[in-house]
A and B are shown apart, each in its own frame.
Chain A
Amino acid sequence: MTLSKMNRSNMSLSSRRRARKAFRAESTYHATGVAIALFFLAPFAITLLASFRHGTEARLPPLPPWPANGISLDSYRSLDTFGAGVWQHTFNSLLVSLATVALTVAVSVLAGYGFSRYRFPLKNVLFVLIIATLMIPFQSILTPLFIILARLGLNNSLFGLTLVYVTLQLPFSVFMMRNAFDAVPKEIEEAARIDGARDLKLLFRVLMPLVLPGIATVAIFAFLNAWNEFLAALVLLSSNEKYTLPVLMMAVRAGRLGAVNWGAVQAGVAVMTLPCLVVFLLLQRYYMRGLMAGAVK
């Protein structure tokens, strides 16, 4: 056996051993990963699957955790018997969330543009004032909000609730949009100005497409926060047919005659969580951008 041959066989042995070790490390890693993923996914999966069981099974524990006796929409039907019907409350939630998105985008694009491109007195003070509202929890100003909305004739109104949500979104959104406009080179604006585009036309035709990623980030956060918010909706909405989904679910959670219809709870959780998950999975990139901007700041 020549020296070089021996060397080669030695090498292949050690490299094979290394490969086996790497494979074992890889398998351990992914076994752990799958276990972790299961813990975080299981509650969603169990609820969603359980919500399609027959109405008679709703009281029983979800064992096995899938509809073993066929699929049925009974849970969703019983959810529909609460409040003004699940369609009405989903509509309320959607209306508030989409209006919050539209208004937040409109207001923060204008403000971001103003803060980025114009000089005016007290500019820095006003910017800090908007950002500083982050330090104050809205939970501590609910009572006066309730009274101010009443004075404005906006008590128990979805529009009033929307305005509150938009205000809560502003610090983050104005900050995001100002940074987005800061990142647009001034030359583009100058060129457009020479071509005769001015002010709002310049903003909407020329600059809007350039800050679209920022707008997507602002929009997705506005949607999720408005869709999920509970305490302000609980306090500011007082009549049944105005309730958003989380407030409706309090009636479901309380149950009737001391008995909770768990099927309706499962169906309600599915209706409330699925839109969030879908929006997040579709627009994950923009969501993470916003998170990083907040974290780095």
Chain B
Amino acid sequence: MAGSGPGKALPVRRRRRRHSQWRGLLYIAPAMALVIVFFVMPVLFTGWMSLHNWPLLGSPRWIGFNNYFRMANDGRFVSALRFTTYYTVIVTIAIFAVAFPLAIFVERHRRFVGAYRTIIFLPVVVGLASASLLWVWLANVDSGFIGPALKALGLVEKSPNLLATFDSAFFTIIVMVVWKIAGFTMIILLTGLQAIPSELTEAARIDGAGRWQRFRYLTLPLMRRTIALALIISVTGSILAFDQFYIMTSGGPQNRMISVVYYIFNQSFVSFNLGYGAALSIALLAILVIISVMQLRLLRVGEDRP
């Protein structure tokens, strides 16, 4: 037992500190082991694989940067990139267009506002795969709900096949994702709205600022940081979209809905070009790191000019 008489305090403390040094490492060892084996090693391994022709069976062959040259000339990869960008832009605009009014709606102190928040948030906690399955049924032409209900209401003559053309299938997926994600963005924006001191809005009101003016010149600038955060989460999430295209349209009419992750999945686990898939992964990883860096910058801008 380490006695703690006042005279011996110093050496004992030093001994205990050295003792606790490796004890602290012991506590974090399981977490570090998992992160190293299932995260750091795979990332390094991805880089290594991307320099090889790596079939599923048989031995990998070193080919240098050929996978990257191939990527630059790969029309299907370019179109996957283009589609992912298009999807990210549209879905982010759609989510914000719905989530911002919702956040303002549930910010007021009214009765049942807690219930509204909870209900709007419900789709967030179910999986994207479940949500995609649910909506692929709702959108089905013969057995679903949306088309037949429109027909029953007399709005259309014939139940529309929503998933058959690119535009209507894309629109259906956007509606599904907004339904699934808007509650999440709403809560993030709500925290920003609630952080605005009510005295400020009150003062602006007394000074004669209209509702739109208060929103434009007070609420929006004060929420810059929150909006940036919600934007980043939405953008990075959308770039990694896979489930909805795989489940709802299997890549879409004429393979026009292949996102980047979907293309990597196809190259790696359908065609088994593991090396090329790894090179594509590195490209995706680079894109996301660039966005993360931009994210930090964007958040810092929010701090400089509150």
Contact = CB atoms under 8 A, between A and B. Distances in A.
Nearest to B260: A139
B148 A43 contact: no
A61 interface: yes
B125 A276 contact: yes
A6 interface: no
Given A63-B152, A141-B46, A143-B49, A26 B135 contact: no
Nearest to B183: A40
Contacts of B278: 143-144
A129 B35 contact: yes
Interface string B130-156: 100111111010111101110010000
Nearest to B152: A63
A76 interface: no
Main secondary structure of the interface of B (DSSP, over half): helix
A144 B129 CA distance: 24
B134 A269 contact: yes
Interface stretch (A11-19, A82-90, A107-115, A205-213): A107-115
Contact of B118 (A107, A199, A265, A284): A284
B142 to A, nearest CB: 7
A135 B41 CA distance: 15
A60 B159 CA distance: 13
B288 A136 contact: yes
B43 interface: yes
Interface string A83-107: 0000000000000000000000011
B21 A118 contact: yes
Contact of A140 (B119, B152, B284): B284
Interface in B43-82: 43, 45-46, 49
Contact of B144 (A61, A108, A142): A61
Contacts of B94: none
B191 interface: yes
A249 B122 contact: no
Contact of B149 (A44, A61, A139): A61
Interface in A224-251: 224, 227-231, 235, 246, 249-250
A68 interface: no
A43 B146 CA distance: 10
Interface stretch (B26-34, B163-171, B197-205, B214-222): B26-34
Interface stretch (B6-14, B84-92, B264-272): B264-272
Contacts of A141: 39, 42-43, 45-46, 281
Contacts of B127: 227-230, 246, 272-273, 276
Residue among B45, B143, B261, B265 with the most chain A CB within 10 A? B143
Contacts of B38: 145, 148, 163-164, 167
A41 interface: yes
A52 interface: no
Given A139-B264, A262-B143, A43 B24 contact: no
Interface string A251-287: 0010000001010011011001100110111001001
Contacts of B261: 139, 231
B28 A111 contact: yes
A166 interface: yes
Nearest to B114: A284
Residue among A129, A143, A164, A249 with the most chain B CB within 10 A? A143
Residue among A118, A144, A166 with the most chain B CB within 10 A? A144
Given A43-B179, A170-B31, A249-B133, A139 B242 contact: yes
A288 B124 CA distance: 12
B227 to A, nearest CB: 12
Contacts of A44: 122-123, 134
A230 B132 CA distance: 11
A246 B126 CA distance: 11
B129 to A, nearest CB: 4
A150 to B, nearest CB: 11
Residue among B28, B102, B120, B136 with the most chain A CB within 10 A? B28
A63 B247 contact: no
A247 to B, nearest CB: 9
Contacts of B37: 148, 167
Given A144-B49, A276-B126, A235 B265 contact: yes
Nearest to B269: A235
Contacts of B17: 119
Contacts of A281: 118
Given A37-B116, A148-B45, A59 B130 contact: no
29 contacts: A33-B116, A43-B123, A43-B179, A59-B143, A60-B143, A63-B149, A110-B30, A114-B26, A118-B27, A120-B24, A123-B24, A129-B40, A130-B31, A133-B35, A133-B39, A136-B43, A139-B240, A139-B284, A140-B284, A141-B39, A144-B42, A246-B130, A265-B136, A269-B133, A272-B129, A276-B130, A277-B125, A280-B125, A291-B184
Given A58-B143, A123-B24, A199-B23, 15 more contacts: A33-B105, A40-B179, A111-B31, A135-B292, A137-B236, A137-B288, A143-B274, A145-B42, A167-B34, A231-B243, A235-B265, A253-B133, A262-B143, A277-B126, A280-B122
Interface of B: 17, 20-28, 30-32, 34-35, 37-43, 45-46, 49, 102, 105, 108, 110, 112-113, 115-116, 118-123, 125-130, 133-138, 140, 142-145, 147-149, 152, 159, 179, 183-184, 187-188, 191, 226, 229, 236, 240, 242-243, 247, 261, 264-265, 268-269, 274, 277-278, 281-282, 284-285, 288-289, 292
